[in-house]
Amino acid sequence: MSGLLAEKIGMTQVFDKNGDRVSVTV
């Protein structure tokens, strides 16, 4: 899993290719 990594834990945590975590509510 490289690049965009999305974990579904209520709120989707999206990791960009730089490794920065961006919290996106879906």
Q: Is 22 helix (H, G, I), strand (E, B) or coil?
A: strand
Q: What is the pLDDT of residue 1?
A: 41
What was the pLDDT predicted at 4? 53
> Mind listing the pLDDT tens digit for each residue in 1-26?
444 555 555 556 666 677 677 766 55
Predicted local confidence at residue 20, as pLDDT: 75
Q: Contact at 8 Å (CB) between 21 and 9?
A: no
